[in-house]
Amino acid sequence: MKEIERNCKKRLFLNWFVQALVFVITGLSLVPLFFILFYLTKQGIGSVNWSFLTHLPRPVGESGGGVLNAIIGTLIIASLSTIMAIPIGVTAGIYLAEKKTGKLVHLLRLSTDILQSTPSIVLGVIAYLWIVKPAQSFSAFSGSVALAMMMLPTIVSSTEETLKLIPYTLKEASLALGVPYYRTVLKVILPSGISGILTGTLLGIARIAGETAPLLFTAFGSPYLNFNLFKPMNALPLVIFNYASSPYLEWWRQAWGASFILIVMVLCFNLLAKWGASKWKIKF
């Protein structure tokens, strides 16, 4: 009897110990997060002011100057990628959800899986070889192509997942009214899934907005405000990278400022996605 009791105590102690360990380690893992957010806010807020947001970069040595061109560049490049990725991604997603089996379905699944796992720097290399090299010029357009390729798998899979959840009875209801298949998909299925697709797209934008590697040898960066898609264009991540690797104190400060703006942008897209997911939710 005593033996069992002692054993029981040991087991309970071990259980308690492991639980404590799990809790402590989990808590510890958040330390870097707070560390990073703390620095970002501390260093970032100090550098962000109205003129930082509304001025162009100044040459080395002059103080002041801002990142207006990078903010606009990031917005332009991200929108262009979204415009390119959505039609193909959503259409391919519909194909996956509607067909379910077949040779092309398997190929498409494999391709999106591969694209999802392809390192972003490789996509940068590809955009360079496909667009920059033949055109002999860095360009915002080539950067958008690289980012669009990154975004594509997110959109395909969020479209597929969303459409799969739509009850089959809805499709039947439409077909039974004599609505052709293509109209059923476009006017009944797609509108019912629009919230999921939008959410997926917003998450995709949040993911690419902070990407640097694919832009290094495509959009390349530029100190000027540029709206020409076929010329080099600046972007916030590029500014952060370039300034951080420079030897100038003033630029380091601006790198923190740019990071703060970037993280706020990314967070906004994430929050928008979360908010949209609940706001646009459709009750079946």
Partner 1 sequence: MEDKILITEKLYAYYGEHCVLKDVNLEIPKFKITAIMGPSGCGKTTLLRCFNRLHELSPGGRIEGQIWLGKTNLLSLNPIMVRRKIGMVFQRPNPFPTMSIYDNVIAGYKLNGIKIKREEADQIVETSLKKAALWNEVKDFLHRKGTFLSGGQQQRLCIARALAMHPEALLLDEPTSALDPKSTAHIEELIIELKDSVTIVIVTHNIGQAGRVADYTAFLYLGELVEFGPTERLFTAPKDKRTEEYLSGKFG
Partner 2 sequence: MKDIKTDRRDIFFHKVLALASWVVVCLVLGILITLILSSLPIFKAAGLGFLFHKVWDPVNHRFGAMPFLAGTLLTSFLALVFSLPFSLAIALFLGEYFYQGAIASFFQSATELLAGIPSVIYGLWGIFVLVPLVRKLEMKLGILPYGVGIFTASLILSIMIIPYAASIAREVISLVPTELKEAAYGLGATRWEVIKHIIIPYARSGIFAGILLSLGRAIGETMAVTMVIGNNNQFPTSIFAPGNTMASVIANEFTEATSNIYLSALIGIALLLFLVTTVVNIIGRYIIKRLSVKK
Residues that bind partner 1 in the complex, under the rule CB under 8 A: 167, 169-170, 172-180, 183-184, 187-188, 191-192, 194, 282-284
Cα distances from 232 to residues 31, 123, 151, 153, 235, in angstroms, run 38, 18, 21, 26, 10
At residue 271's C-alpha, the angle toward residues 269 and 276, to 5°, is 95
Cβ nearer to partner 2, comparing 76 with 209: 209
Instruction: Tell me how far apart the alpha carbons of residues 7 and 115 are, in angstroms, rounded to a whole number.
Output: 53
State which of residues 55, 58, 75, 98 lies at the interface with partner 2 (CB under 8 A).
Answer: 98
Q: Does the protein bind partner 2 through residue 91 (CB under 8 A)?
A: yes
Are the C-beta atoms of 234 and 70 separated by less than 8 Å?
yes
Contacts to partner 2 from residues 170-189, by CB under 8 A: 180-182, 185
The binding track of 26-55 with respect to partner 2, each residue x by CB under 8 A or -, is x-xxx-xx-xx--xx--x------------
By a kind-dependent CB cut-off of 5 to 8 A, residue 249 interacts, out of partner 2, partner 1, none, with: none
Q: Does the protein bind partner 2 through residue 272 (CB under 8 A)?
A: no
Q: Does the protein bind partner 2 through residue 122 (CB under 8 A)?
A: yes
By a kind-dependent CB cut-off of 5 to 8 A, residue 142 interacts, out of partner 1, partner 2, none, with: none
By a kind-dependent CB cut-off of 5 to 8 A, residue 165 interacts, out of partner 1, partner 2, none, with: none
Contacts to partner 2 from residues 212-271, by CB under 8 A: 212-213, 216-217, 220, 237, 240-241, 244-245, 252, 255-256, 259, 262-263, 266-267, 270
| Shortest separation between residue 1's beta carbon and partner 2, angstroms | 16
Instruction: Tell me how far apart the alpha carbons of residues 145 and 136 are, in angstroms, rounded to a whole number.
Output: 16
Buried b (16+ CB within 10 A) or exposed e, 107-137: ebeeebeebeeeebeebbbbbbeebbeeeee
Cβ nearer to partner 1, comparing 17 with 181: 181
Q: Does the protein bind partner 2 through residue 111 (CB under 8 A)?
A: yes
Q: Which of 193, 177, 246, 235 is nearest to 211 (CA)?
A: 235
Cβ nearer to partner 1, comparing 119 with 180: 180
Backbone angles phi, psi at 233, to 5 degrees: -140, 150
| Shortest separation between residue 50's beta carbon and partner 2, angstroms | 23
By a kind-dependent CB cut-off of 5 to 8 A, residue 167 interacts, out of partner 1, partner 2, none, with: partner 1
Cβ nearer to partner 1, comparing 42 with 183: 183
Instruction: Tell me how far apart the alpha carbons of residues 230 and 144 are, in angstroms, rounded to a whole number.
Output: 11
Q: Which amino acid is at 231?
A: K
**Helices 2-29 and 31-47, packing angle to 10 deg:** 20
Q: Which of 236, 210, 227, 211 is nearest to 57 (CA)?
A: 236
Counted residue by residue, the chain has a size of: 284
- Residues binding partner 2: number (CB under 8 A): 86
